[in-house]
Amino acid sequence: AGMGRTVVELFYDVISPYSWLAFEALCRYQHIWNIDLRFRPAFLAGIMQQTGNKPPAMLPKRAEYLLKDMKRMAKYYQVPLRMSADTFQHIMGTSSLTAMRFITAIDITNPQYLEPLSREFWMRFWSQHEDISQPENLLTVAQQAGLSAELSQKALEMISSATVKDRLKETTAEALKYGAFGVPAVVAHYDGEPHLFFGSDRLELLGSFIGEKWLGPVPS
């Protein structure tokens, strides 16, 4: 971390579309704001369970709104996120546990691939509407992110290890400790204190809080 940089942690899960928006916006701002951005892959279902939170789409009116909101947000944030009528069935029928363990394994072994790998998982699930839970699909995603077959295979083998399982549990527990009840959970370490900002639409507020200027979701 550079001099006086604000450490900003992004707790995310690739099953969460709003996490993708926050991720892309923060990736753009890490070169503009004086921040040290840290990606923290966590497990959304674990956070929901621990806090008693429910998926917003379980409320029909909210689900209806979410579809429209996501379309508008995707356009505004310039992220190729595609919503369809069966999006919610798609999410409900998928567990992100394997994907998040795979991402965690790469975070442990080759963290320089964390950003492109996470992005490819979102691309595959939220843009191409393809599976992200089967081993062969994890390898496809890794290949697209530029990982060698050797690295990908190693990460795949690590998924069932205590090291990876424990790390994902620890990161998820850390998000909860900061007060998260869902993702994206953005934690800014400012003035010696952690400050939680929830959602992809609070980055302007985050900037203001740490004394940085918000230039929209796609700063040129």
Catalytic residues: 16
Peptide bond into 219 cis (omega under 30): no
- Is residue 49 a contact partner of residue 36, using CB atoms and an 8 Å limit? no
Distance, CA of 97 to CA of 76 (rounded, Å): 29
- Is residue 43 a contact partner of residue 13, using CB atoms and an 8 Å limit? yes
**Within a 10 A sphere around the Cβ of 71, how many other Cβ atoms?**
13
Q: Is residue 197 classed as helix, strand or coil in its secondary structure?
A: strand
CA angle 24, 10, 45 (to 5 degrees): 105
Distance, CA of 19 to CA of 31 (rounded, Å): 19
Task: Count how many Cα atoms sit within 13 Å of the Cα of residue 136 in the half-sphere of its side chain.
Answer: 1
Q: Is residue 185 classed as helix, strand or coil in its secondary structure?
A: strand
